[in-house]
Each structure stands twice: as structure tokens, then as C-alpha cells.
């Protein structure tokens, strides 16, 4: 892969190569992208959890309007 990432990122790649974590620059970048993808998934789960907890707090405090299943079905018609 012929990419100029700059000195800072190249030093990180060289460090990973020097530690034997990868065999070449492409492998380092692939590993970094896999890690980044996992972090994105984790962050999404955290944000969904925070949203659910906020909604549950509204329900428990009485601020949220709750509907019965029959009311929901009626609204779908």
C-alpha cells in the first residue's frame, strides 16, 4: 500500500512492526480498522443504553405517556 500518512502515524506503524504485532504496514492498518470498528459498535451500544435509561427514567417519574397494547393497535388502523 503506497500511502503517506505523515510522521506521527508512520511512527505508530513502525512501533507495531517493531513489536512484531504485524508483518507489514497493510496488516497494521487492517488491525487498526478492525479495532476502530469494534469501538464504533461499543459506542453505539453505550448511546442506545443511555437513551433507554433516559426513557425509563421518564416512565418511572410519570412524565411519559404510556399506552396500552389495544391503544397502540387502534392507532395503527
Rg of the Cα trace of the chain? 24
Provide the domain count of the chain.
Answer: 1
The pLDDT of residue 1:
60
* HSE, side-chain direction, 13 A CA sphere, residue 76: 7
Give residue 4's pLDDT band: very low, low, confident or very high (50, 70, 90). Answer: confident
- The residue segments making up the domain with residue 21 are 7-75
Residue 28 forms part of a structural domain: yes
The pLDDT of residue 76:
80
Residue 63 forms part of a structural domain: yes
The pLDDT of residue 31:
98
Residue 1 forms part of a structural domain: no
Q: What is the pLDDT of residues 15-71, one digit of tens each?
A: 999 999 999 999 999 999 999 999 999 999 999 999 999 999 999 999 998 999 999
Nine cell digits for residue 40: 464504533
Tell me 50's DSSP state. Answer: H
Cβ–Cβ < 8 Å for 17, 9:
no
pTM, rounded to two decimals: 0.67
Amino acid at each position: 500500500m503506497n500511502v503517506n500518512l505523515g510522521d506521527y502515524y508512520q511512527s505508530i506503524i513502525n512501533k507495531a512492526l517493531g513489536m512484531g504485532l504485524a508483518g507489514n504496514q497493510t496488516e497494521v492498518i487492517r488491525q487498526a480498522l478492525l479495532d476502530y470498528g469494534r469501538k464504533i459498535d461499543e459506542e453505539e451500544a453505550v448511546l442506545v443504553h443511555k437513551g433507554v435509561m433516559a426513557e425509563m427514567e421518564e416512565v418511572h417519574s410519570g412524565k411519559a405517556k404510556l399506552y396500552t397494547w389495544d391503544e397502540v393497535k387502534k392507532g395503527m388502523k
